[in-house]
Structure 1
Amino acid sequence: MNNDIRCLSTEDIEINCSPSFEKKIHSNFWESLHLIWENFVKKLLVDHHELQVWQKVDRHGNIYWQAYDPVTGKSFSSGSETDVCMWIEQLYRY
């Protein structure tokens, strides 16, 4: 009976990432880069004197709306799109 115990050398060990893992990393990188580019272009093209309205999601997954008027410096946020519309109407009523 031969009980040879041999340790593997680093040359004997092959480390391979699965193709699906590599694709996932590659995909996440390009998605992140695309989002960064989109946000950059949006910031670049925004008219700084125009009313801005956007939708956000808080850390609990609740959706809410924010509005900002750079001319008056006033802002408003609400969970209701209707409330934001009413705020805008009141803002420009006078």
Structure 2
Amino acid sequence: MNNHIRCLPTEDIEINCSSLSQKTNNSNLWKSLHIFWEKFLKKLLENPNELQVWQKVDRHGNIYWQAYDPATGKSFSSGSQADVCLWIEQLYRY
């Protein structure tokens, strides 16, 4: 019985693995640069006096909302999006 299995020399295996690793590293680098660029542009174009509202998750997995008005220095936090909307309406009512 003839066995037609041929093994690659060790050097070829190392080259193949390193080129695969290099492609993965390049892909991760470009992805990281893209994310950095998006965050940089967002920060650059952001109005510093604009009302900011964001959603957060605490260590227990509970979702809550935070709002901050740089013009007045006031902030608000609640588990309800409706409460945050009410706070904003009251803030700008006067």
Shorter-chain TM-score category?
0.5 to 0.7
TM-score (normalised: structure 2): 0.65
Residue identity (%): 70
> C-alpha separation between the residues in 1 aligned to 2:52 and 2:77?
12
Residues 28-50 of structure 1 show CA distances to partners (whole Å, capped at 9, x for unaligned) of: 22222111111111111111122
Amino acid at match of 2:84: V
> C-alpha separation between the residues in 2 aligned to 1:66 and 1:23?
40
The answer to which of 72-81 and 50-59 deviates more is: 50-59
Shift of 1:61: 4.5
Shift of 1:87: 1.2
> C-alpha separation between the residues in 2 aligned to 1:43 and 1:26?
26
When residues 37 and 61 of structure 1 are mapped into structure 2, their CA distance, relative to the original with a 3 A threshold, is farther
> C-alpha separation between the residues in 2 aligned to 1:13 and 1:49?
62
- The aligned residue for residue 70 of structure 1 is 70
> C-alpha separation between the residues in 1 aligned to 2:35 and 2:62?
21
TM-score (normalised: structure 1): 0.65
Give the superposed CA RMSD.
2.5
When residues 59 and 35 of structure 1 are mapped into structure 2, their CA distance, relative to the original with a 3 A threshold, is farther
Shift of 1:79: 2.8
Gaps of 5+ in 2: 1-8
